[in-house]
Amino acid sequence: MTERDTAEEPFDRDRQARLAAEFAALHRRGDPLLLPNAWDVASAAVIARAGARAIATTSAGVAWSLGVPDAADLGAGRVAAVVRGIAGAVPVPVSADVEAGYGPAPDDVAATVAAVVRAGAVGVNLEDRSGRADTPLFEPEEQAGRLAAARAAADRLGVPVWINARTDVFLTGAPVREGVRESLRRAAVYAEAGADSLFVPGLTNPEAIAELAAGPLPVAVMVWAGAPPVAELAAAGAVRVSLGAAIAQAAYALAARAAGELLTAGTYDGTASGGEADGLNELLARS
């Protein structure tokens, strides 16, 4: 999908701009945005009903729901279709995980950002993982060009999209000290290119987060069971705390456990928490 392919698709620019401003204002030191991640309309609807002030997609969860592995190059078209359904079903801002932009070139990133913004997104995650075995991360200057293309694509549509520049420095195995230094170096370049925050999945060390938070960009972190509580991450200076694929993983794990219980023990106790989704039909009917 190219930016030209999406040019005829109508979207409510004024609503998008309003939601984008609302989303940006939720990123605050001391009171971070708590951002659960959805993978389809139903998961987004129950997350919004739980009180989420915004919703992000999880690329892994979206991929699994479509029957493909994570990082299997979903493409802008499939991601935009999921975003369109979610954004149309919830009243809160929606941020789209567009992985590495579905292509290495700045034009690829621009087309992807245009597609998801037209679909209803007011934020994007754009990662610097290159997919190359020899150099797993884009060089900072390469990624800067891609981030600048994302910013220009959003600006052309008149939507001040929040660009969460993800660096996979820690996910590729960098030790904490080295990873902090490299992340700060990248943050300076990414900020100049138009990024709004630095996303550092794989890092939950409050001291390291505090050091990054004193740098050029506000810091977003991803959490999972066993990570420090929100209060500690907020005190360290994080402006966003997201769950990534954790909710989707837990949902699929429950499906596996409940099925296994039925097929082996012949009991159904694992489904006892299903009542928490009561009213889903009515909820979706109102979407």
Tens digit of each residue's pLDDT (9 = 90 or more) over 4-21: 444 456 889 999 999 999
Mean pLDDT of the chain: 95
Could you give phi then psi for residue 17, rounded to 5 degrees? -65, -40
Q: Stretch 62-77: mean pLDDT, rounded?
A: 93
Cα torsion angle, 181, 184, 188, 189, sign = positive
Q: Kindly report the length of the chain.
A: 287
**Model confidence at 3: pLDDT above 90:** no
Q: Stretch 186-198: mean pLDDT, rounded?
A: 98
Q: Is the Cβ–Cβ distance between 38 and 44 less than 8 Å? A: yes
Instruction: Check residue 216 and give its pLDDT.
Output: 98
Q: Stretch 238-267: mean pLDDT, rounded?
A: 97
253 sits in which H/E element: helix 246-264
Which of the pair, 71 or 77, is modelled with greater confidence? 77
Q: Can you read off the two tokens belonging to residue 117?
A: 């913004």
Q: Would the pTM count as exceeding 0.75?
A: yes
The CA-CA-CA angle for residues 40, 20, 95, to 5°, reads 25
